[in-house]
Amino acid sequence: MALLISKNDLAHAKRIVIKVGTSTLTHKTGKLDLKLIDKLACTLTNAVNRGKEVILVTSGAVGVGMGRLGMREKPKSIPEKQAAAAVGQGILLQMYEKMFGEYGQTVAQVLLTRGDIGDRKRYLNARNTLNTLLSMGIIPIINENDTVAWEEIRFGDNDTLAALVGGLIDADLLILMSDIAGLCDGNPKENKEAKLIPLIEEITPEIEALAGGAGTRWGSGGMLTKIHAAKIAGDSGIPMVIAQGENPAVLDEIMDGKDVGTLFVPKEYKLQHRKRWIAYGAELQGTLWVDKGAEEAIVALGKSLLPIGVVGFEGNFDPGATVSVQSADHKEFARGIVDYGSKDLGMIMGHKSREIETILGYKEYDYVIHRNNMVLKV
């Protein structure tokens, strides 16, 4: 089967999300690499001048704050991370503002938390804001709001954040700048014989196994988070490239369609915007377990989830909540928005739809999750 997209096709991408990691932005000391940031500002400004729409997702606030505060190791507690981020965020934005300003480019800071993506209204508000900024020729500079995020609502890495932003604004291309040239068949930092894999058509278990753990003491990401980002981008119909970030000129090469880094080919059929949000954006508020018959009806036949197929659930949720749908052996195969809350579900699960009104005294829906509000994860 012919490829849906090749590296040559990337030259036609107009709306581009670029993520730069902490290890790319800083020296080993944790101090900012000013020459790199200057080159990055020049490259992205020139891309806008060429007619591209650019969003920059940046890491570095915590790392820069650590450098300013003289911290030798990455803080482990959330309050210490928040303190480092509070110090570093201002320094980082000031530097971006200065560097981009030298080239006459206006930038805007946008700080996001998991809650901003998980809440549907805030998600749409963020989408509208970013679209407006792009229409005005402004480069949004996005970072996770580490100063207020806590463990339950934080993204955890800006690779995931960049992929979610790409889906949010229907990007044509996602570029993750890394400290290595792309996905290799081994760890290039440990194995000099490791070879770059230029093209990934499908993310298989073997591909996932190639991803190591990681990060440096300054960053939080690793190749594993980039593979996860590639899954999100792929489901959103967005090609993704991992490339060496030490020289921002590589961005021009990618945008010119040259053979650089590792290209992850998106899926042929991308998720619709709402289902994209259900699959990756919405905050899960519970878990439903279903029997084999219900699983087969959903996966093979595209049916809605009826109460008779639910064998158990976990969580305290209201109608409209997003939940994980799992098989009886606790393997997730779908996510969806429920039409009955946990209180009512506890009474109607295992029963036929025609019995709902007798049990509850009312019946608004025959199903627990309608097919239109469900996304398969298999």
Segments in 30-77 forming alpha helices (H): 34-49, 61-69
Cβ(92)–Cβ(64) below 8 Å:
yes
| CA distances (Å), origin 366, targets 39, 171, 276, 287, 306 | 58, 37, 25, 20, 7
Distance CA 290, CA 303 (A): 13
pLDDT of residue 107: 97
Q: Which of 124, 376, 153, 160 is nearest to 285 (CA)?
A: 153
Q: Which of 186, 185, 229, 199 is nearest to 21 (CA)?
A: 229
Helix, strand and coil percent figures for the chain, each rounded to 5:
40, 20, 40
Give the residues of the chain that fall short of pLDDT 50: 1-2, 151-153, 213-221
Edge-first strand order for the sheet with 173-178 is 107-112, 139-144, 53-58, 15-20, 173-178, 240-244, 262-264, 199-200
The model carries a pTM of: 0.84
Which residue numbers belong to the known binding site? 19, 59, 146, 158, 178-179, 220-226
Distance CA 57, CA 98 (A): 17
Distance CA 348, CA 236 (A): 35
Distance CA 92, CA 98 (A): 10
Q: Which of 46, 44, 83, 48 is nearest to 64 (CA)?
A: 83
Q: Tokens 């300054």, residue? A: 218
Q: Tokens 């407006």, residue? A: 132
pLDDT of residue 282: 87
Which residue numbers belong to the known binding site for substrate? 59, 146, 158
Q: Which of 375, 191, 190 is nearest to 298 (CA)?
A: 375
- 87-144 tens-digit pLDDT: 888 888 999 999 999 999 999 999 888 778 888 889 999 999 999 999 999 999 998 8
pLDDT of residue 239: 96
Q: Which of 24, 6, 40, 8 is nearest to 180 (CA)?
A: 24
Segments in 185-338 forming alpha helices (H): 205-210, 223-235, 249-255, 273-276, 292-301
Cβ(8)–Cβ(49) below 8 Å:
no
Distance CA 93, CA 230 (A): 27
pLDDT of residue 52: 97
Which amino acid, one-letter code, is at 272? Q
Eight-state DSSP code of residue 180: S
Domains (ranges, CATH) in the chain?
9-275 (3.40.1160.10), 283-376 (2.30.130.10)
Measured in residues, the chain has a length of: 378
pLDDT of residue 86: 86
Which residue numbers belong to the known binding site for ATP? 19, 178-179, 220-226
Distance CA 18, CA 26 (A): 17
